[in-house]
Structure 1
Amino acid sequence: MKTKQASVIKILFAGTIILTFLWALFHGTNDFGLVKSNLLTFISIFSTLCAVPLIVNHLFDRGDYLHEITKILLYVFIIQSIIQLIAFVYPPFSAIINIFKKDIINNRDFQGIRSLALTGNPFFTLSSAYGLMFINYFYLFSNKKIKYPVIIFILLLVGSFFAGRTAFVGLIIGVVSYFTYSIGSFKKMFFSVISISFYILITSIITYIVYLFLIPQSILVIVDEKLLPFALEFYYKFQETGKLTTKSTDVLSKMYFEISMDTLLFGDGKYFNNDGSYYMYTDAGYMRNILFYGVLGFFYIVFAQVLILKKTLRSKIDFSSKLFLLFTLFYFFILHYKGEVLMSMPILQSILVLYSLNYLFIKDK
């Protein structure tokens, strides 16, 4: 795709690669492990830009670009949810899915309730993407651009249960965004509350009926003893201890610690320890960036991430679309607290790039 915005995007991601390479040289560590990750993200972005004309010409229905692209992405993840659901209830299908994944991933299936999706990274990356789909869902729902909303929501929720709890962060942001779209209109806000209350009631009834009468007893045991305790660990912990915590949040709280002023400003230019583990044994996004780049280098990461959406945010888009993009960007910054997302994580960056091209399809822009 040859546009000024596409060129800017390529330059920004190429700049991340160059910055990482130079930072390792500057510190004399010659630790170029992060360069490989940056290169993978760049290739994904480049492929996405090449695919945009094909997507627009062959997959779009009538409608504006942002609505159409979010619908396509939502349907992709609905298919992913169906794949996970089939793999969960029918092990031979799961065995077929495992053929396409590395053994190290298959060995981390958490007793058959994870690693069921057709993806190379069925953990933090997949759950993060599902969280973004919840934000997509409520954006489309608020604009009345989604059919069979109850079924779609249930499938998204089921897929998230298998993918990971991170998706619930997107669910919360999605719900908040849904009501924010109605700001300024009491009538619209009132009907938003009535509408979502109705759909929550219908979703609960359908889920309850399926749970009681349609799930085989053998599967029900696994759901009760494994899937729900994993997906809703924070709820179970709250019942036991009165605190909304999980093993993951307990571990994450230890991933942030004090560092020297030199490291804070300039980083150490290290991404891996000698044993192959992450430097300083932390995989928290902000911490890993600061340890490698320092604040000065990290500023580029933040600047580049925001700049990707600048063109579309400044174009003539409607209020809800602008808010949707801002909530998406906010979601990225929230997720980065847990793991590397900003200017990394190919799937989320590719989706953001797709959103950033919205301005090209606005009339009288």
Structure 2
Amino acid sequence: MGYTVAVVGATGNVGREMLTTLADRKFPVGEAIALASDNAVGKEVSFGEDEVLKVQDLGKFDFKGVDLALFAADAKVSAAHAPRAAAAGAVVIDASPQFRMDPDVPLVVPEVNAAALAGHGKRNIVASPDGAAILLAVALKPLHDRFTVRRVVVSTYQAVSGAGKDGMDELFGQTRAIYVNDPVQKSTFSKQIAFNVIPHIGPFMEDGATKDEWALNVETKKILDSKIKVTATCVRVPVFIGHSASVTIECEEPVTAEEARRILRKAPGVQVIDQHDNEGYITPVEVAGDDPVFVSRIREDYTVDNGLSFWCATDNLRKGAALNAVQIAELLVERHLGG
């Protein structure tokens, strides 16, 4: 059976990656539809090797007859159009923050909480988490199952592509300006991003945390376990693609690096690269274009009881966004939509 699949935000980084991922994974698409705002209407985007889609106007589009609508737009677009698509009968998979904490909308990472999809019919909407939350949840899930994670201390190192094409353009433009001794211009980020790191992603909240740090906390709890305590510092780094994180966990059960390494090697969606030499770990440059969450630098933390530290990274446009949404679509087809 072929499904009619619409991709909203098809001209953006994540939207294009969704189309590529649908084709690469041979999702059973009967008809693919590319949607975007009116200023992108008529542009062309690729679907697979041979098919080119003309972008249609999201504001005027009738979702009747669409089986799955993958949203790769911002929260305002999702707020306006996702309920409209759901009311027309499409199952919406939304990569924006709009519905992530809605109690009637499942927040899903397929390797972690696929069973939550059973509740998708309440709103006909499924939320895909923030890329940093996906990265953390995939790495934590097998460790939590075995050792029961009580507390997580995490610092994320997030690529500029997490801020969209404008973020990537700003890093490129600032880097070029520095090399040719031109003035450095900034608009997307609060400070210079080229040759710098910025400990600030999202607006500040009353307690001093940023919105992204709050989101990493609450999304991890919703996906994995509400009892886990999470403290996060989210940092923007001058990397085009690839979110990374330094993670320290405290567990209820005794944990060793050797056993953690063995468990993670068997975990779905995880690849362990952990050797004690100069090439024995993963970096963001190496994860770009790949699907897994990579884990390195696994070691015991002797400063707390049952402590473990590790480093992890993933392509934030793939597993951190597009791939996770497509995996949700695959599970919906397999378990809930038939075909």
Same fold (TM over 0.5): no
TM-score, structure 2 as length reference: 0.31
* TM-score, length basis structure 1: 0.29
